[in-house]
Amino acid sequence: YIAMEYVPGGNLRRHIGQPTPIETRINWMVQLCSALFFAHKRNVVHQDIKPDNIFLTQEGNLKIGDFGLALIATGHALDRHAKGQGSPAYMSPEICRGEAPDHRSDIYSLGAVFYELLTGQMPFKAQSLDEMVQKHLKAQVPAASKINPEIPPVLDKVLKYMMTKQPAQR
Protein backbone atom coordinates (compact mmCIF):
# COMPACT_ATOMS: atom_id res chain seq x y z
CA TYR A 1 0.00 0.00 0.00
CA ILE A 2 0.97 3.62 -0.29
CA ALA A 3 0.50 6.09 2.56
CA MET A 4 0.36 9.75 1.58
CA GLU A 5 0.08 12.99 3.43
CA TYR A 6 -3.43 14.42 3.73
CA VAL A 7 -3.53 17.83 2.01
CA PRO A 8 -6.70 19.73 3.02
CA GLY A 9 -6.38 22.48 0.37
CA GLY A 10 -7.92 20.46 -2.48
CA ASN A 11 -6.50 19.68 -5.89
CA LEU A 12 -5.32 21.90 -8.71
CA ARG A 13 -8.43 21.16 -10.80
CA ARG A 14 -10.36 23.61 -8.59
CA HIS A 15 -8.00 26.42 -9.63
CA ILE A 16 -8.02 25.85 -13.40
CA GLY A 17 -9.66 28.81 -15.10
CA GLN A 18 -9.82 30.81 -11.88
CA PRO A 19 -8.42 34.36 -11.75
CA THR A 20 -4.97 33.55 -10.41
CA PRO A 21 -2.06 35.93 -11.07
CA ILE A 22 0.32 34.71 -13.78
CA GLU A 23 3.20 34.96 -11.30
CA THR A 24 1.44 32.50 -8.99
CA ARG A 25 0.81 30.07 -11.84
CA ILE A 26 4.46 30.27 -12.91
CA ASN A 27 5.52 29.68 -9.29
CA TRP A 28 3.30 26.59 -9.23
CA MET A 29 4.94 25.38 -12.44
CA VAL A 30 8.39 25.74 -10.86
CA GLN A 31 7.23 23.83 -7.77
CA LEU A 32 5.84 21.01 -9.91
CA CYS A 33 9.04 20.76 -11.95
CA SER A 34 11.00 20.49 -8.72
CA ALA A 35 8.69 17.80 -7.32
CA LEU A 36 8.80 15.75 -10.52
CA PHE A 37 12.58 16.13 -10.73
CA PHE A 38 12.79 14.78 -7.16
CA ALA A 39 10.76 11.70 -8.15
CA HIS A 40 12.65 11.14 -11.39
CA LYS A 41 16.04 11.33 -9.64
CA ARG A 42 14.79 8.38 -7.59
CA ASN A 43 13.72 6.52 -10.76
CA VAL A 44 10.01 6.95 -10.05
CA VAL A 45 7.76 7.41 -13.09
CA HIS A 46 4.38 8.75 -11.91
CA GLN A 47 2.33 7.83 -15.04
CA ASP A 48 -0.74 9.86 -14.08
CA ILE A 49 0.22 13.53 -13.85
CA LYS A 50 -2.98 15.60 -14.06
CA PRO A 51 -4.56 18.48 -12.10
CA ASP A 52 -6.63 16.03 -10.04
CA ASN A 53 -3.42 14.47 -8.67
CA ILE A 54 -1.75 17.76 -7.73
CA PHE A 55 -2.70 19.19 -4.37
CA LEU A 56 -2.51 22.76 -3.10
CA THR A 57 -1.65 23.15 0.58
CA GLN A 58 -3.16 25.87 2.73
CA GLU A 59 0.22 27.61 2.55
CA GLY A 60 0.01 27.77 -1.25
CA ASN A 61 2.49 24.99 -2.03
CA LEU A 62 1.81 22.23 -4.54
CA LYS A 63 2.36 18.52 -3.94
CA ILE A 64 2.07 15.68 -6.42
CA GLY A 65 -0.01 12.82 -5.06
CA ASP A 66 -1.65 9.58 -6.13
CA PHE A 67 1.36 7.45 -6.96
CA GLY A 68 -0.91 4.42 -7.40
CA LEU A 69 0.21 3.88 -11.02
CA ALA A 70 3.85 4.81 -10.40
CA LEU A 71 6.65 2.58 -11.63
CA ILE A 72 10.28 2.30 -10.68
CA ALA A 73 12.56 2.72 -13.70
CA THR A 74 15.55 0.39 -13.60
CA GLY A 75 17.84 1.05 -16.52
CA HIS A 76 15.86 0.45 -19.68
CA ALA A 77 13.17 -1.62 -18.01
CA LEU A 78 10.41 -0.77 -15.62
CA ASP A 79 9.47 -2.93 -12.69
CA ARG A 80 6.21 -4.83 -13.25
CA HIS A 81 7.02 -4.56 -17.00
CA ALA A 82 3.90 -2.43 -17.29
CA LYS A 83 2.89 -0.46 -20.31
CA GLY A 84 1.71 3.08 -19.79
CA GLN A 85 -1.50 3.95 -18.08
CA GLY A 86 -3.02 7.20 -16.98
CA SER A 87 -5.64 9.72 -18.02
CA PRO A 88 -6.22 10.06 -21.78
CA ALA A 89 -6.23 13.88 -21.83
CA TYR A 90 -2.69 13.91 -20.39
CA MET A 91 -1.14 10.80 -21.99
CA SER A 92 2.13 11.09 -23.87
CA PRO A 93 2.35 9.89 -27.47
CA GLU A 94 4.53 6.93 -26.48
CA ILE A 95 1.91 5.74 -24.00
CA CYS A 96 -0.73 6.16 -26.71
CA ARG A 97 1.41 3.88 -28.92
CA GLY A 98 1.51 1.26 -26.15
CA GLU A 99 5.17 1.80 -25.34
CA ALA A 100 6.57 1.68 -21.82
CA PRO A 101 6.68 5.12 -20.17
CA ASP A 102 9.69 6.79 -18.61
CA HIS A 103 10.40 10.18 -17.05
CA ARG A 104 9.84 11.87 -20.44
CA SER A 105 6.23 10.66 -20.43
CA ASP A 106 5.70 12.50 -17.15
CA ILE A 107 7.25 15.63 -18.69
CA TYR A 108 4.73 15.50 -21.54
CA SER A 109 1.84 15.10 -19.10
CA LEU A 110 3.16 17.95 -16.96
CA GLY A 111 3.30 20.11 -20.10
CA ALA A 112 -0.40 19.39 -20.67
CA VAL A 113 -1.13 20.37 -17.06
CA PHE A 114 0.86 23.61 -17.47
CA TYR A 115 -1.04 24.39 -20.67
CA GLU A 116 -4.33 23.96 -18.86
CA LEU A 117 -3.11 25.94 -15.86
CA LEU A 118 -2.07 28.85 -18.09
CA THR A 119 -4.99 28.88 -20.54
CA GLY A 120 -7.89 27.37 -18.60
CA GLN A 121 -8.32 24.68 -21.27
CA MET A 122 -6.73 21.39 -22.20
CA PRO A 123 -4.28 21.41 -25.10
CA PHE A 124 -6.50 19.00 -27.08
CA LYS A 125 -10.26 18.59 -27.19
CA ALA A 126 -11.80 15.37 -28.48
CA GLN A 127 -15.15 13.64 -28.65
CA SER A 128 -13.74 10.14 -28.16
CA LEU A 129 -10.76 8.27 -26.79
CA ASP A 130 -9.59 7.43 -30.32
CA GLU A 131 -9.73 11.08 -31.36
CA MET A 132 -7.79 12.09 -28.23
CA VAL A 133 -5.12 9.48 -28.94
CA GLN A 134 -4.76 10.72 -32.52
CA LYS A 135 -4.33 14.28 -31.33
CA HIS A 136 -1.59 13.26 -28.90
CA LEU A 137 0.11 11.35 -31.71
CA LYS A 138 -0.16 13.95 -34.48
CA ALA A 139 -1.63 17.35 -33.55
CA GLN A 140 0.50 20.33 -32.63
CA VAL A 141 -0.32 22.12 -29.42
CA PRO A 142 -1.78 25.60 -30.10
CA ALA A 143 0.28 28.49 -28.73
CA ALA A 144 -0.93 29.22 -25.20
CA SER A 145 -0.18 32.94 -25.61
CA LYS A 146 -2.78 33.13 -28.39
CA ILE A 147 -5.43 31.90 -25.97
CA ASN A 148 -4.24 34.02 -23.07
CA PRO A 149 -2.19 37.10 -24.07
CA GLU A 150 -1.03 37.44 -20.45
CA ILE A 151 1.24 34.44 -21.02
CA PRO A 152 4.84 35.38 -21.89
CA PRO A 153 5.79 33.94 -25.34
CA VAL A 154 8.79 32.19 -23.78
CA LEU A 155 6.31 29.86 -22.06
CA ASP A 156 5.02 28.82 -25.51
CA LYS A 157 8.54 27.53 -26.17
CA VAL A 158 8.62 25.69 -22.84
CA LEU A 159 5.26 24.03 -23.56
CA LYS A 160 6.29 23.11 -27.10
CA TYR A 161 9.46 21.51 -25.73
CA MET A 162 7.59 19.60 -23.01
CA MET A 163 4.89 18.38 -25.38
CA THR A 164 6.96 17.50 -28.42
CA LYS A 165 5.93 14.16 -29.91
CA GLN A 166 9.39 12.55 -29.76
CA PRO A 167 10.46 11.62 -26.20
CA ALA A 168 14.15 12.07 -27.05
CA GLN A 169 13.46 15.76 -27.78
CA ARG A 170 11.81 16.49 -24.43
The residues annotated as belonging to the active site are 48
Q: Is pLDDT above 60 for 79?
A: no
pLDDT value of position 2: 65
Rounded distance between C-alpha atoms, residue 70 and residue 170, angstroms: 20
Averaged pLDDT score across all residues of the chain: 88
Arithmetic mean of pLDDT, 151-164: 95
User: What's the pTM value of the predicted model, to 2 decimals?
Assistant: 0.88
pLDDT digits (tens, 9 = 90+) for 46-72: 888 999 999 999 888 999 888 767 777
